[in-house]
Protein backbone atom coordinates (compact mmCIF):
# COMPACT_ATOMS: atom_id res chain seq x y z
CA UNK A 1 0.00 0.00 0.00
CA UNK A 2 1.31 3.44 -0.88
CA UNK A 3 -0.34 6.86 -1.06
CA UNK A 4 -1.64 6.35 -4.60
CA UNK A 5 -3.26 3.07 -3.64
CA UNK A 6 -4.74 4.66 -0.54
CA UNK A 7 -6.27 7.38 -2.69
CA UNK A 8 -7.57 4.72 -5.06
CA UNK A 9 -9.35 2.93 -2.24
CA UNK A 10 -10.86 6.24 -1.12
CA UNK A 11 -11.91 7.09 -4.67
CA UNK A 12 -13.57 3.76 -5.35
CA UNK A 13 -15.40 3.96 -2.02
CA UNK A 14 -16.69 7.43 -2.85
CA UNK A 15 -17.91 6.32 -6.26
CA UNK A 16 -19.70 3.42 -4.59
CA UNK A 17 -21.66 5.79 -2.38
CA UNK A 18 -25.20 6.58 -3.52
CA UNK A 19 -26.49 10.15 -3.71
CA UNK A 20 -28.65 9.53 -0.67
CA UNK A 21 -27.46 7.70 2.43
CA UNK A 22 -29.62 6.64 5.32
CA UNK A 23 -27.29 6.34 8.27
CA UNK A 24 -28.52 4.05 10.98
CA UNK A 25 -26.82 4.17 14.38
CA UNK A 26 -25.50 0.74 15.35
CA UNK A 27 -23.53 1.64 18.47
CA UNK A 28 -24.42 -0.24 21.65
CA UNK A 29 -27.05 2.20 22.92
CA UNK A 30 -29.15 2.14 19.78
CA UNK A 31 -28.54 -1.57 19.20
CA UNK A 32 -30.13 -2.27 22.56
CA UNK A 33 -33.12 -0.20 21.48
CA UNK A 34 -33.45 -2.34 18.35
CA UNK A 35 -31.53 -0.50 15.64
CA UNK A 36 -30.33 -3.66 13.86
CA UNK A 37 -33.92 -4.52 12.95
CA UNK A 38 -34.40 -0.95 11.76
CA UNK A 39 -31.38 -1.24 9.47
CA UNK A 40 -32.70 -4.48 7.96
CA UNK A 41 -36.13 -2.94 7.47
CA UNK A 42 -34.53 0.07 5.74
CA UNK A 43 -32.61 -2.24 3.40
CA UNK A 44 -35.83 -4.06 2.51
CA UNK A 45 -37.79 -0.84 2.03
CA UNK A 46 -35.15 0.51 -0.37
CA UNK A 47 -35.27 -2.67 -2.46
CA UNK A 48 -39.06 -2.77 -2.45
CA UNK A 49 -39.23 0.77 -3.78
CA UNK A 50 -36.59 -0.01 -6.40
CA UNK A 51 -34.35 2.78 -5.17
CA UNK A 52 -31.11 0.78 -5.02
CA UNK A 53 -29.34 3.11 -7.40
CA UNK A 54 -30.09 6.25 -5.48
CA UNK A 55 -30.37 5.32 -1.85
CA UNK A 56 -28.35 3.14 0.50
CA UNK A 57 -28.71 2.34 4.15
CA UNK A 58 -25.51 2.05 6.16
CA UNK A 59 -24.63 0.91 9.65
CA UNK A 60 -22.71 3.73 11.25
CA UNK A 61 -21.46 4.49 14.73
CA UNK A 62 -22.89 6.64 17.47
CA UNK A 63 -25.21 9.50 16.48
CA UNK A 64 -24.86 10.76 20.07
CA UNK A 65 -28.36 11.44 21.33
CA UNK A 66 -28.66 8.05 23.03
CA UNK A 67 -31.91 8.84 24.87
CA UNK A 68 -33.80 9.16 21.56
CA UNK A 69 -32.55 5.94 19.95
CA UNK A 70 -32.70 4.16 17.62
CA UNK A 71 -31.49 7.14 15.61
CA UNK A 72 -31.45 7.42 11.84
CA UNK A 73 -30.02 10.34 9.88
CA UNK A 74 -30.27 11.05 6.18
CA UNK A 75 -27.64 12.50 3.81
CA UNK A 76 -27.57 15.03 2.30
CA UNK A 77 -30.61 16.60 4.01
CA UNK A 78 -29.30 15.83 7.54
CA UNK A 79 -32.84 15.05 8.58
CA UNK A 80 -32.81 13.17 11.88
CA UNK A 81 -35.33 10.53 12.89
CA UNK A 82 -35.74 9.50 16.50
CA UNK A 83 -37.12 6.40 18.24
CA UNK A 84 -37.44 4.68 14.89
CA UNK A 85 -39.30 1.39 14.74
CA UNK A 86 -38.71 -1.17 11.98
CA UNK A 87 -42.25 -0.71 10.60
CA UNK A 88 -41.49 2.98 10.04
CA UNK A 89 -38.71 2.18 7.56
CA UNK A 90 -40.93 2.42 4.43
CA UNK A 91 -42.20 5.80 5.63
CA UNK A 92 -38.65 7.08 6.06
CA UNK A 93 -37.67 5.89 2.58
CA UNK A 94 -40.86 7.47 1.19
CA UNK A 95 -40.03 10.78 2.91
CA UNK A 96 -36.85 10.99 0.83
CA UNK A 97 -38.99 11.24 -2.29
CA UNK A 98 -41.75 13.53 -1.11
CA UNK A 99 -41.79 15.55 2.06
CA UNK A 100 -44.83 15.01 4.15
CA UNK A 101 -45.60 17.07 7.21
CA UNK A 102 -46.83 14.41 9.58
CA UNK A 103 -46.18 10.78 8.86
CA UNK A 104 -45.89 9.54 12.42
CA UNK A 105 -42.11 9.27 12.50
CA UNK A 106 -40.54 11.39 15.21
CA UNK A 107 -38.16 14.03 13.84
CA UNK A 108 -35.19 15.36 15.76
CA UNK A 109 -33.65 18.78 15.34
CA UNK A 110 -30.03 18.59 14.18
CA UNK A 111 -29.71 22.33 14.90
CA UNK A 112 -30.57 22.08 18.59
CA UNK A 113 -27.81 23.09 21.04
CA UNK A 114 -27.09 19.44 21.89
CA UNK A 115 -25.62 19.07 18.40
CA UNK A 116 -24.83 22.66 17.41
CA UNK A 117 -22.58 23.43 20.38
CA UNK A 118 -20.44 20.35 19.94
CA UNK A 119 -17.05 20.52 18.29
CA UNK A 120 -16.24 17.07 17.01
CA UNK A 121 -12.60 16.10 16.56
CA UNK A 122 -12.45 12.68 18.19
CA UNK A 123 -16.03 12.01 17.10
CA UNK A 124 -15.77 13.64 13.67
CA UNK A 125 -16.31 10.29 11.94
CA UNK A 126 -18.70 8.93 14.50
CA UNK A 127 -22.10 8.37 12.93
CA UNK A 128 -20.66 9.01 9.47
CA UNK A 129 -18.20 6.24 8.63
CA UNK A 130 -19.15 2.59 8.71
CA UNK A 131 -17.07 1.12 11.55
CA UNK A 132 -16.88 -2.35 10.04
CA UNK A 133 -15.59 -1.19 6.65
CA UNK A 134 -12.04 0.15 6.43
CA UNK A 135 -12.78 1.63 2.98
CA UNK A 136 -15.31 3.92 4.57
CA UNK A 137 -12.69 5.19 7.03
CA UNK A 138 -10.13 5.64 4.26
CA UNK A 139 -12.66 7.60 2.18
CA UNK A 140 -13.09 9.94 5.15
CA UNK A 141 -9.34 10.65 5.07
CA UNK A 142 -8.27 7.78 7.27
CA UNK A 143 -4.69 6.46 7.45
CA UNK A 144 -3.48 9.63 5.71
CA UNK A 145 -1.82 10.80 8.92
CA UNK A 146 -0.03 7.46 9.36
CA UNK A 147 1.21 7.65 5.79
CA UNK A 148 2.44 11.18 6.37
CA UNK A 149 4.18 10.23 9.61
CA UNK A 150 5.97 7.21 8.18
CA UNK A 151 6.88 8.55 4.75
CA UNK A 152 7.43 12.24 5.42
CA UNK A 153 8.37 12.70 9.06
CA UNK A 154 11.07 11.42 11.37
CA UNK A 155 9.96 9.82 14.66
CA UNK A 156 11.32 12.86 16.51
CA UNK A 157 9.21 15.18 14.36
CA UNK A 158 6.08 13.20 15.22
CA UNK A 159 6.86 13.46 18.94
CA UNK A 160 7.50 17.18 18.51
CA UNK A 161 4.15 17.69 16.79
CA UNK A 162 2.33 15.93 19.62
CA UNK A 163 4.25 17.93 22.22
CA UNK A 164 3.51 21.18 20.43
CA UNK A 165 -0.18 20.39 20.18
CA UNK A 166 -0.42 20.48 23.99
CA UNK A 167 -2.47 17.26 24.04
CA UNK A 168 -2.84 15.81 27.53
CA UNK A 169 -3.86 12.30 28.51
CA UNK A 170 -7.59 11.79 28.23
CA UNK A 171 -7.73 8.91 30.70
CA UNK A 172 -8.13 11.34 33.55
CA UNK A 173 -4.82 12.43 34.98
CA UNK A 174 -3.94 14.78 32.13
CA UNK A 175 -0.24 14.00 31.81
CA UNK A 176 1.23 15.73 28.72
CA UNK A 177 1.13 13.15 25.93
CA UNK A 178 4.17 14.52 24.09
CA UNK A 179 6.33 14.23 27.24
CA UNK A 180 5.27 10.62 27.72
CA UNK A 181 6.04 9.80 24.09
CA UNK A 182 9.48 11.39 24.22
CA UNK A 183 10.30 9.49 27.43
CA UNK A 184 9.53 6.16 25.75
CA UNK A 185 11.25 7.22 22.53
CA UNK A 186 14.45 8.03 24.42
CA UNK A 187 14.57 4.69 26.25
CA UNK A 188 17.19 2.27 24.97
CA UNK A 189 16.23 -1.27 23.99
CA UNK A 190 15.02 -2.98 20.87
CA UNK A 191 11.70 -4.15 22.24
CA UNK A 192 9.09 -1.53 23.16
CA UNK A 193 5.33 -1.72 23.44
CA UNK A 194 2.38 0.56 22.81
CA UNK A 195 -0.72 -0.14 24.87
CA UNK A 196 -4.16 1.35 24.43
CA UNK A 197 -6.06 1.52 27.71
CA UNK A 198 -9.66 0.74 26.79
CA UNK A 199 -10.55 -0.60 30.22
CA UNK A 200 -13.21 2.01 30.74
CA UNK A 201 -14.16 1.08 34.26
CA UNK A 202 -15.76 4.23 35.67
CA UNK A 203 -19.43 3.53 36.16
CA UNK A 204 -21.37 6.08 34.16
CA UNK A 205 -18.80 6.49 31.40
CA UNK A 206 -19.17 5.20 27.87
CA UNK A 207 -17.02 7.50 25.72
CA UNK A 208 -14.30 5.01 24.92
CA UNK A 209 -16.87 2.36 24.16
CA UNK A 210 -18.57 4.68 21.66
CA UNK A 211 -15.29 5.66 20.02
CA UNK A 212 -14.27 2.02 19.61
CA UNK A 213 -17.67 1.02 18.28
CA UNK A 214 -17.99 4.00 15.96
CA UNK A 215 -14.50 4.57 14.63
CA UNK A 216 -12.12 1.75 15.63
CA UNK A 217 -9.65 2.49 12.82
CA UNK A 218 -9.02 5.95 14.20
CA UNK A 219 -7.68 4.42 17.42
CA UNK A 220 -5.57 1.88 15.52
CA UNK A 221 -4.12 4.64 13.35
CA UNK A 222 -3.26 6.70 16.44
CA UNK A 223 -1.54 3.69 17.97
CA UNK A 224 0.46 2.98 14.81
CA UNK A 225 1.64 6.59 14.69
CA UNK A 226 2.66 6.33 18.34
CA UNK A 227 4.51 3.08 17.62
CA UNK A 228 6.46 4.72 14.82
CA UNK A 229 7.28 7.71 17.03
CA UNK A 230 8.58 5.69 19.98
CA UNK A 231 9.98 2.75 18.06
CA UNK A 232 7.59 0.01 19.18
CA UNK A 233 6.76 -3.05 17.12
CA UNK A 234 4.01 -4.60 19.19
CA UNK A 235 0.82 -3.07 20.50
CA UNK A 236 -2.03 -4.22 22.68
CA UNK A 237 -5.54 -2.90 23.10
CA UNK A 238 -6.77 -3.82 26.57
CA UNK A 239 -10.54 -3.64 26.31
CA UNK A 240 -13.27 -4.35 28.83
CA UNK A 241 -14.87 -7.77 28.59
CA UNK A 242 -18.24 -6.08 29.13
CA UNK A 243 -18.01 -4.46 25.68
CA UNK A 244 -18.61 -7.31 23.22
CA UNK A 245 -19.52 -5.05 20.30
CA UNK A 246 -16.40 -2.93 20.72
CA UNK A 247 -14.30 -6.11 20.87
CA UNK A 248 -15.92 -7.43 17.70
CA UNK A 249 -15.38 -4.19 15.78
CA UNK A 250 -11.76 -3.96 16.91
CA UNK A 251 -11.14 -7.54 15.75
CA UNK A 252 -12.67 -6.75 12.37
CA UNK A 253 -10.71 -3.50 12.09
CA UNK A 254 -7.35 -5.10 12.96
CA UNK A 255 -7.93 -7.85 10.40
CA UNK A 256 -8.82 -5.34 7.67
CA UNK A 257 -5.86 -3.07 8.43
CA UNK A 258 -3.50 -6.05 8.38
CA UNK A 259 -4.88 -7.16 5.04
CA UNK A 260 -4.29 -3.75 3.43
CA UNK A 261 -0.78 -3.48 4.86
CA UNK A 262 -1.67 -0.60 7.15
CA UNK A 263 -0.68 -2.66 10.16
CA UNK A 264 1.68 -5.62 10.38
CA UNK A 265 5.02 -5.69 8.62
CA UNK A 266 6.28 -3.16 6.10
CA UNK A 267 3.59 -0.54 6.71
CA UNK A 268 3.28 1.77 3.69
CA UNK A 269 6.12 -0.14 2.08
CA UNK A 270 8.58 1.07 4.69
CA UNK A 271 10.67 -0.98 7.12
CA UNK A 272 8.19 -0.09 9.88
CA UNK A 273 6.47 -3.05 11.54
CA UNK A 274 3.66 -2.83 14.04
CA UNK A 275 1.37 -5.59 15.13
CA UNK A 276 -1.68 -5.03 17.33
CA UNK A 277 -3.28 -7.71 19.50
CA UNK A 278 -6.37 -7.52 21.64
CA UNK A 279 -6.43 -8.34 25.31
CA UNK A 280 -9.84 -8.75 26.88
CA UNK A 281 -10.30 -7.56 30.44
CA UNK A 282 -12.22 -9.65 32.92
CA UNK A 283 -14.04 -7.18 35.08
CA UNK A 284 -11.54 -5.61 37.44
CA UNK A 285 -11.76 -1.84 37.82
CA UNK A 286 -8.21 -1.61 39.15
CA UNK A 287 -6.89 -2.77 35.75
CA UNK A 288 -7.47 0.75 34.45
CA UNK A 289 -4.43 1.67 36.56
CA UNK A 290 -1.44 1.32 34.25
CA UNK A 291 0.76 -0.98 36.32
CA UNK A 292 -2.23 -3.24 37.11
CA UNK A 293 -3.13 -3.24 33.43
CA UNK A 294 0.36 -4.38 32.57
CA UNK A 295 0.12 -7.24 35.08
CA UNK A 296 -3.19 -8.24 33.55
CA UNK A 297 -1.80 -8.29 30.00
CA UNK A 298 0.97 -10.54 31.31
CA UNK A 299 -1.73 -12.96 32.45
CA UNK A 300 -1.46 -12.21 36.16
CA UNK A 301 -3.71 -10.84 38.85
CA UNK A 302 -4.29 -7.18 38.14
CA UNK A 303 -2.50 -5.72 41.11
CA UNK A 304 -0.58 -2.46 40.78
CA UNK A 305 3.08 -2.01 41.57
CA UNK A 306 4.88 0.99 43.01
CA UNK A 307 6.00 3.68 40.58
CA UNK A 308 8.77 4.56 39.73
CA UNK A 309 9.85 2.79 37.66
CA UNK A 310 7.14 4.10 35.38
CA UNK A 311 5.94 1.95 32.48
CA UNK A 312 7.80 4.31 30.13
CA UNK A 313 10.95 2.83 31.60
CA UNK A 314 9.89 -0.64 32.72
CA UNK A 315 6.49 -1.75 31.55
CA UNK A 316 5.30 -4.89 29.82
CA UNK A 317 7.78 -7.69 30.43
CA UNK A 318 10.08 -4.96 31.84
CA UNK A 319 10.37 -3.25 28.44
CA UNK A 320 9.67 0.46 27.83
CA UNK A 321 5.91 0.78 27.31
CA UNK A 322 3.74 3.65 26.17
CA UNK A 323 0.24 3.55 27.63
CA UNK A 324 -2.41 5.98 26.46
CA UNK A 325 -6.17 6.06 26.65
CA UNK A 326 -8.51 5.46 23.67
CA UNK A 327 -9.45 9.11 23.30
CA UNK A 328 -5.81 10.22 23.46
CA UNK A 329 -4.92 7.96 20.52
CA UNK A 330 -8.01 9.11 18.63
CA UNK A 331 -6.74 12.70 18.85
CA UNK A 332 -3.43 11.88 17.15
CA UNK A 333 -4.42 11.56 13.45
CA UNK A 334 -6.13 14.99 13.28
CA UNK A 335 -3.13 16.59 15.01
CA UNK A 336 -0.89 15.34 12.18
CA UNK A 337 -3.46 16.06 9.47
CA UNK A 338 -4.34 19.58 10.51
CA UNK A 339 -1.22 20.58 12.40
CA UNK A 340 -0.23 21.01 16.03
CA UNK A 341 -0.97 24.74 15.91
CA UNK A 342 -4.53 24.13 14.84
CA UNK A 343 -5.04 21.74 17.77
CA UNK A 344 -3.35 24.12 20.21
CA UNK A 345 -5.70 26.91 19.13
CA UNK A 346 -8.67 25.00 20.60
CA UNK A 347 -9.36 24.98 24.31
CA UNK A 348 -7.71 26.89 27.14
CA UNK A 349 -4.14 27.92 27.92
CA UNK A 350 -3.30 24.67 29.70
CA UNK A 351 -5.96 22.27 28.40
CA UNK A 352 -5.91 21.99 24.63
CA UNK A 353 -8.38 20.46 22.25
CA UNK A 354 -11.75 18.99 23.06
CA UNK A 355 -13.09 16.47 25.53
CA UNK A 356 -15.74 13.84 25.00
CA UNK A 357 -18.24 13.45 27.81
CA UNK A 358 -20.86 10.84 28.44
CA UNK A 359 -23.79 12.89 29.63
CA UNK A 360 -26.25 10.90 31.71
CA UNK A 361 -28.34 10.86 34.85
CA UNK A 362 -31.15 13.31 35.63
CA UNK A 363 -30.90 15.29 32.45
CA UNK A 364 -33.18 15.72 29.44
CA UNK A 365 -30.80 14.82 26.65
CA UNK A 366 -28.45 11.99 27.47
CA UNK A 367 -25.72 10.87 25.17
CA UNK A 368 -22.28 11.67 23.93
CA UNK A 369 -20.99 15.22 23.65
CA UNK A 370 -17.64 16.56 22.50
CA UNK A 371 -16.94 20.14 23.49
CA UNK A 372 -13.89 22.40 23.48
CA UNK A 373 -11.97 22.48 26.77
CA UNK A 374 -12.91 25.46 28.89
CA UNK A 375 -16.63 25.37 28.15
CA UNK A 376 -18.53 26.16 31.37
CA UNK A 377 -20.16 23.15 32.98
CA UNK A 378 -23.43 25.08 32.90
CA UNK A 379 -23.38 25.25 29.10
CA UNK A 380 -22.92 21.50 28.92
CA UNK A 381 -25.68 20.52 31.31
CA UNK A 382 -28.18 23.31 30.64
CA UNK A 383 -27.74 24.11 26.95
CA UNK A 384 -26.54 20.86 25.47
CA UNK A 385 -28.18 18.61 28.03
CA UNK A 386 -31.37 20.67 28.31
CA UNK A 387 -31.31 20.80 32.13
CA UNK A 388 -33.12 18.53 34.55
CA UNK A 389 -36.24 16.84 33.20
CA UNK A 390 -39.78 17.06 34.58
CA UNK A 391 -39.35 20.45 36.26
CA UNK A 392 -36.55 19.23 38.50
CA UNK A 393 -33.55 21.31 39.50
CA UNK A 394 -29.94 20.32 39.09
CA UNK A 395 -28.29 19.77 42.44
CA UNK A 396 -24.83 18.59 41.44
CA UNK A 397 -22.80 17.23 38.57
CA UNK A 398 -20.53 14.28 39.18
CA UNK A 399 -17.38 13.98 37.11
CA UNK A 400 -14.52 11.54 37.28
CA UNK A 401 -16.53 8.56 38.55
CA UNK A 402 -15.40 6.97 41.82
CA UNK A 403 -12.16 8.96 41.65
CA UNK A 404 -13.87 12.29 41.15
CA UNK A 405 -16.26 14.52 43.00
CA UNK A 406 -19.63 16.21 42.96
CA UNK A 407 -19.70 19.79 41.74
CA UNK A 408 -22.63 21.67 43.33
CA UNK A 409 -25.06 23.75 41.28
CA UNK A 410 -23.68 27.15 42.45
CA UNK A 411 -20.33 26.23 40.89
CA UNK A 412 -21.77 25.31 37.49
CA UNK A 413 -19.94 28.21 35.86
CA UNK A 414 -16.65 26.36 36.40
CA UNK A 415 -14.91 25.94 33.05
CA UNK A 416 -14.25 22.35 32.11
CA UNK A 417 -10.48 21.96 32.08
CA UNK A 418 -8.04 19.88 34.12
CA UNK A 419 -7.00 22.59 36.59
CA UNK A 420 -10.40 24.19 37.18
CA UNK A 421 -12.10 20.88 37.93
CA UNK A 422 -9.32 19.97 40.34
CA UNK A 423 -9.68 23.34 42.08
CA UNK A 424 -13.31 22.59 42.90
CA UNK A 425 -12.45 19.18 44.30
CA UNK A 426 -13.27 16.97 41.34
CA UNK A 427 -11.24 15.74 38.39
CA UNK A 428 -11.67 15.66 34.64
CA UNK A 429 -11.57 11.88 34.78
CA UNK A 430 -12.19 9.87 31.70
CA UNK A 431 -15.36 11.78 30.84
CA UNK A 432 -18.36 10.43 32.72
CA UNK A 433 -20.70 13.27 33.63
CA UNK A 434 -23.66 12.34 35.77
CA UNK A 435 -26.26 14.96 36.60
CA UNK A 436 -28.05 14.69 39.95
CA UNK A 437 -31.26 16.48 40.86
CA UNK A 438 -32.89 17.54 44.13
CA UNK A 439 -34.03 13.98 44.90
CA UNK A 440 -30.48 12.66 45.16
CA UNK A 441 -29.13 12.16 48.68
CA UNK A 442 -25.46 13.08 48.67
CA UNK A 443 -24.52 10.91 51.66
CA UNK A 444 -25.96 7.96 49.76
CA UNK A 445 -23.94 8.97 46.69
CA UNK A 446 -20.74 9.00 48.74
CA UNK A 447 -21.68 5.60 50.16
CA UNK A 448 -22.42 4.28 46.67
CA UNK A 449 -18.97 5.22 45.37
CA UNK A 450 -17.24 3.93 48.50
CA UNK A 451 -19.00 0.60 48.12
CA UNK A 452 -17.67 0.48 44.58
CA UNK A 453 -14.09 1.22 45.66
CA UNK A 454 -14.35 -1.26 48.53
CA UNK A 455 -15.43 -4.02 46.14
CA UNK A 456 -12.87 -3.10 43.53
CA UNK A 457 -9.88 -2.65 45.84
CA UNK A 458 -7.38 -5.29 44.78
CA UNK A 459 -6.32 -5.89 48.37
CA UNK A 460 -2.61 -5.42 47.89
CA UNK A 461 -2.07 -2.40 50.14
CA UNK A 462 -3.60 -2.02 53.58
CA UNK A 463 -4.80 1.63 53.45
CA UNK A 464 -7.01 0.85 50.49
CA UNK A 465 -8.05 -2.67 51.45
CA UNK A 466 -8.96 -1.90 55.07
CA UNK A 467 -9.54 1.84 54.73
CA UNK A 468 -12.29 1.60 52.14
CA UNK A 469 -14.11 -0.97 54.30
CA UNK A 470 -13.96 1.33 57.33
CA UNK A 471 -15.00 4.35 55.29
CA UNK A 472 -17.95 2.41 53.91
CA UNK A 473 -18.94 1.32 57.41
CA UNK A 474 -18.86 4.92 58.65
CA UNK A 475 -20.87 6.15 55.68
CA UNK A 476 -23.45 3.40 56.21
CA UNK A 477 -23.82 4.43 59.83
CA UNK A 478 -24.12 8.10 58.92
CA UNK A 479 -26.66 7.43 56.17
CA UNK A 480 -28.73 5.30 58.55
CA UNK A 481 -28.65 8.02 61.21
CA UNK A 482 -26.73 5.84 63.68
CA UNK A 483 -23.61 7.96 63.80
CA UNK A 484 -22.42 10.76 66.06
CA UNK A 485 -20.69 14.01 65.07
CA UNK A 486 -17.39 12.49 66.18
CA UNK A 487 -17.71 9.90 63.45
CA UNK A 488 -17.81 12.60 60.78
CA UNK A 489 -14.50 13.80 62.14
CA UNK A 490 -13.24 10.23 62.06
CA UNK A 491 -14.42 9.98 58.44
CA UNK A 492 -12.37 13.04 57.52
CA UNK A 493 -9.23 11.77 59.22
CA UNK A 494 -9.54 8.38 57.59
CA UNK A 495 -10.13 9.93 54.16
CA UNK A 496 -6.93 11.86 54.53
CA UNK A 497 -5.02 8.75 55.53
CA UNK A 498 -6.32 6.58 52.66
CA UNK A 499 -5.70 9.37 50.17
CA UNK A 500 -2.08 9.87 51.13
CA UNK A 501 -0.90 6.36 51.88
CA UNK A 502 -2.50 4.10 49.26
CA UNK A 503 -0.30 2.47 46.66
CA UNK A 504 -2.18 3.35 43.47
CA UNK A 505 -4.69 5.75 42.04
CA UNK A 506 -7.67 3.66 43.11
CA UNK A 507 -7.01 4.10 46.82
CA UNK A 508 -5.52 7.57 46.50
CA UNK A 509 -8.68 8.87 44.86
CA UNK A 510 -11.28 6.69 46.60
CA UNK A 511 -11.95 9.34 49.29
CA UNK A 512 -12.63 12.06 46.68
CA UNK A 513 -16.41 11.57 46.44
CA UNK A 514 -16.64 11.69 50.24
CA UNK A 515 -14.42 14.76 50.54
CA UNK A 516 -16.27 16.68 47.85
CA UNK A 517 -19.71 15.89 49.28
CA UNK A 518 -18.44 16.84 52.76
CA UNK A 519 -17.14 20.09 51.32
CA UNK A 520 -20.33 21.13 49.55
CA UNK A 521 -23.13 19.18 51.19
CA UNK A 522 -22.02 18.96 54.81
CA UNK A 523 -25.51 19.93 55.96
CA UNK A 524 -26.79 16.63 54.59
CA UNK A 525 -24.33 14.70 56.75
CA UNK A 526 -25.34 16.81 59.76
CA UNK A 527 -29.03 16.37 59.02
CA UNK A 528 -28.63 12.65 58.66
CA UNK A 529 -27.07 12.49 62.13
CA UNK A 530 -29.67 14.84 63.64
CA UNK A 531 -32.53 12.80 62.19
CA UNK A 532 -31.10 9.70 63.82
CA UNK A 533 -30.86 11.53 67.16
CA UNK A 534 -34.47 12.67 67.01
CA UNK A 535 -35.75 9.20 66.19
CA UNK A 536 -33.88 7.89 69.25
CA UNK A 537 -35.77 10.30 71.54
Beta strand pairing call for 106-108 and 80-82: antiparallel
Q: Count residues contacting another protein (CB under 8 A)?
A: 55
DSSP-assigned beta bridge partners for residue 237: 196, 278
> With binding defined as CB under 8 A, does residue 448 bind another protein?
yes
Rounded CA-CA distance 293/312 in Å is 14
Cα distances (angstroms) measured from residue 93 to each of 24, 128, 501: 13, 19, 62
Q: Looking only at residues 456 through 485 of this chain, which bind another protein when binding is defined by CB under 8 A?
A: 456, 458
CB of 83 to another protein, least distance (A): 11
* Interface segment toward another protein; rule CB under 8 A; list 97-105, 197-205, 250-258, 335-343: 197-205
Q: Tell me which H or E stretch contains 433.
A: strand 432-437
Q: What is the DSSP string of 492-523?
A: HHHHHHHHHH-SSHHHHHTTHHHHHHHHH-HH
Residue (169 or 201) nearer to another protein, CB: 201
Q: Are 66 and 30 in contact (CB under 8 A)?
A: yes
Residues within window 222-281 making contact with another protein, judged by CB under 8 A: 240-243, 279-281
User: Using alpha carbons only, how large is the chain's radius of gyration in Å?
Assistant: 24
Specify the residue, 10 or 66, whose C-beta has the smaller distance to another protein: 66
What DSSP character marks residue 339?
Answer: -
Measured in residues, the chain has a length of 537
Which one among 10, 21, 29, 319 touches another protein, defined by CB under 8 A? 29
Using alpha carbons, select from 102, 48, 99, 50 the residue that is nearest to residue 74: 99
The correct pick among 192, 209, 217, 477 for binding another protein (CB under 8 A) is 209
Cα separation, 272 vs 268, in Å, equals: 8
- Using CB under 8 A, pick the residue from 200, 215, 290, 417 that binds another protein: 200
272 vs 442, beta carbon nearer another protein: 442
Site for another protein in 135-174 (CB under 8 A): none
Q: State which residue, 209 or 217, has the beta carbon closest to another protein.
A: 209
Tell me how far the alpha carbon of residue 26 is from its chain's centroid: 17
Residue 135 or 208 having the CB closest to another protein? 208
Q: How far is the CB of 102 from another protein (least distance, A)?
A: 25
**Rounded distance between C-alpha atoms, residue 115 and residue 113, angstroms:** 5
438 binds another protein (CB under 8 A): no
Distance CA 406, CA 427 (A): 10
Binding mask 292-311 for another protein (x = CB under 8 A): ----xxxxxxx---------
- Nearest to another protein of 147, 296 (CB atom): 296
Q: Is 521 in the site for another protein (CB under 8 A)?
A: no
Residue from 20, 66, 93, 226 binding another protein (CB under 8 A) = 66
**Alpha carbons 130 and 124: distance in angstroms, whole number:** 13
With CB under 8 A as the contact rule, which of the stretches 27-35, 258-266, 344-352, 496-504 interacts with another protein?
Answer: 27-35
C-alpha 143: how far from chain center: 21
First to last CA, the chain: 81
Residue 139 or residue 360: which is nearer to another protein going by CB? 360
- Give the burial string for 408-443 (b: 16+ CB within 10 Å, else e): bbebbebbbbbebbeebbbbbbbbbbbbbbeebbbb
Q: 355-370 burial by CB neighbour count: b if 16+ within 10 A, else e?
A: bbbbbbbbbbbbbbbb
Is residue 163 classed as helix, strand or coil in its secondary structure?
A: helix
Q: How far apart are CA 375 and CA 378, in angstroms?
A: 8
CB of 370 or CB of 456, closer to another protein: 456
Residue 401 engages another protein in binding (rule: CB under 8 A): yes
Applying CB under 8 A, does 32 fall inside the site for another protein? yes
| Residue 209 or 355 with smaller CB distance to another protein | 209
With CB under 8 A as the contact rule, the residue among 115, 143, 181, 206 that binds another protein is 206
- What is the closest distance, in whole angstroms, from the C-beta atom of residue 284 to another protein in the complex? 5
Contact residue for another protein among 19, 189, 266, 283 (CB under 8 A): 283
Cα angle at 371 between 366 and 377, to 5 degrees? 70
**Nearest alpha-carbon partner for 47 in 95, 89, 3:** 89
Q: Please, what is the minimum distance in Å from the beta carbon of residue 201 to another protein?
A: 7
Does the footprint of another protein cover residue 361 (CB under 8 A)? yes
Residue 193 found at the interface with another protein (CB under 8 A): no
Binding letters toward another protein, positions 76-115, x by CB under 8 A = ----------------------------------------
Q: Which is nearer to another protein, 320 or 347 (CB)?
A: 320
Q: Is residue 394 a contact point for another protein (CB under 8 A)? A: no
Considering beta carbons, is residue 75 or 451 the nearer one to another protein?
A: 451
∠ CA 354-356-358, nearest 5°, is 155
| Interaction of residue 285 with another protein, rule CB under 8 A | yes
Q: What residue ranges bind another protein (CB under 8 A)?
A: 28-29, 31-33, 66-67, 69, 200-206, 209, 240-243, 279-285, 296-302, 358-362, 366-368, 398, 401, 432, 434-436, 440, 445, 448-449, 452, 456, 458
Amino acid sequence: MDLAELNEVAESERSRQKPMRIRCCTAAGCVSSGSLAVKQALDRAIVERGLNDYVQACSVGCLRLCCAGPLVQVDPSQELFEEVKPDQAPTIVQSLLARSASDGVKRGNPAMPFFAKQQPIVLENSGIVEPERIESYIAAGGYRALQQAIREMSPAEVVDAVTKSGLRGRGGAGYPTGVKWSLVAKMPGAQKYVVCNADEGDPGAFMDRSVLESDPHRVLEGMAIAAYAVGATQGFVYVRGEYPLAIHRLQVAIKQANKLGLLGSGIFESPVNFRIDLRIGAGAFVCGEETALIASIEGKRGTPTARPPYPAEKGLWSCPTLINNVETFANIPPILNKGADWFASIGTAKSKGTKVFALAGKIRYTGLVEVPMGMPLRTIVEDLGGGAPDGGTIKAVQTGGPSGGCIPAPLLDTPVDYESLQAVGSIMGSGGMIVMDQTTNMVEVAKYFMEFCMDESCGKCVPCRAGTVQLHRLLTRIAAGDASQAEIKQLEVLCDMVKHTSLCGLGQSAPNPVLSTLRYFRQEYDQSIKKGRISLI
